[in-house]
Amino acid sequence: MSSAVAEAPAEEQAVQSYLVTFMIRRFDPEVDSEPKWVDYDVEMYSTDRVLDALHRIKWNVDGSLAFRRSCAHGICGSDAMRINGRNRLACKTLIKDLDISKPVYVEAIKGLPLEKDLIVDMDPFFAAFREVQPFLQAKSTPDKGKERLQTIEDRARFDDTTKCILCAACTTSCPVFWTDGQYFGPAAIVNAHRFIFDSRDDEAQVRLDILNDKEGVWRCRTTFNCSEACPRGIEVTKAIAEVKNAVLRGRP
């Protein structure tokens, strides 16, 4: 009887690394009068992310580099920044999806006060978010032990806008927001949409009145920058259009 011969495992192919140049727009308010571009050469793999590059620069090259990040999995939204001129999350932007034959440009998102390097002051963004009352307001009280019931169709009406992670990528991609600091911005409108079209909520008209302001939905110019920038794939421009329609005709 012939004995079985185990096959030897195939030799693993070496993973190729690349030397990638990152141009990072640095700003230290204690020493700089204006931001400046600083270049860093970093060894990267194609499956690495821009966030990995920022970590390597901060941990191994220059510990003064300042940026925000938390979960590193596209959920918290804290590492939104401009990468090659587009708003993206650093933790979701892979090296293989960038043209590394040229320098990769990384800078802070626009339209919010720059604090240091890639960090902006998010207070104006969250102030607009709070102003649209982004929480359920139901006047009726369900029976004890009961829930406020909702059909599958009713839930689907606002499903898309529940995906917002408040990264500010949409708002800070908007040309109107860049030039008008009073504009609520796409993210605030998206979060208003989420409750305006919730069948359990009783204060849709309050939010519609808030957004019927000169700095509300009518400032949107439908450039679709916000939809393109959203890392969660929310149809932001569509949501804004639905809110405009509700202002004119009421919540359907």
**For 123-138+150-249, which CATH superfamily applies?**
Alpha-helical ferredoxin (1.10.1060.10)
Other C-beta atoms within 10 Å of 147: how many?
8
pLDDT for 174 beyond 90: yes
**What is the homologous superfamily of the domain 17-120 according to CATH?**
Beta-grasp domain (3.10.20.30)
Mean pLDDT (the chain) is 93
**What value does the mean pLDDT take over residues 70-92?**
97
Residue 186 to residues 78, 90, 97, 161, 205: CA-CA distances in angstroms?
17, 21, 26, 11, 19
Closest Cα partner for 232 from 132, 50, 134, 89? 89
72-73-74 Cα angle (round to 5): 105
**How far is Cα 156 from Cα 162, in angstroms, rounded to an integer?**
10
In whole angstroms, give the CA distance from residue 38 to residue 24: 5
Nearest to 125 by CA among 189, 193, 185, 69: 185
Look at residue 178 and tell me whether its pLDDT is greater than 80.
yes
**Sign of the C-alpha dihedral computed for residues 205, 206, 211 and 214 taken in this order:** positive
Q: Tell me how far apart the terminal alpha carbons of the chain are, to the nearest angstrom.
A: 78
pLDDT at position 14: 59
| pTM for this prediction | 0.90
What pLDDT, on the 0 to 100 scale, is given for residue 214? Answer: 83
Q: How many CA atoms lie within 13 A of 44 on its CB side?
A: 29
Residue 1 vs residue 200, higher pLDDT:
200
Average pLDDT (173-187) is: 94
pLDDT at 13 over 80: no
Q: Has residue 8 got a pLDDT over 70?
A: no
Model pLDDT for residues 203-231, shown as the tens digit of each residue: 999 999 999 998 899 999 999 999 999 99
Q: What is the pLDDT of residue 137?
A: 96
Average pLDDT over residues 50-63: 98
Note the pLDDT of residue 147: 87
Region(s) of the chain under CATH 3.10.20.30: 17-120
What are the φ/ψ torsions at residue 37 (nearest 5 degrees)? -90, 135
- Stretch(es) of the chain classified as CATH 1.10.1060.10: 123-138+150-249
Phi and psi angles of residue 116, each rounded to the nearest 5 degrees, phi first: -165, 130
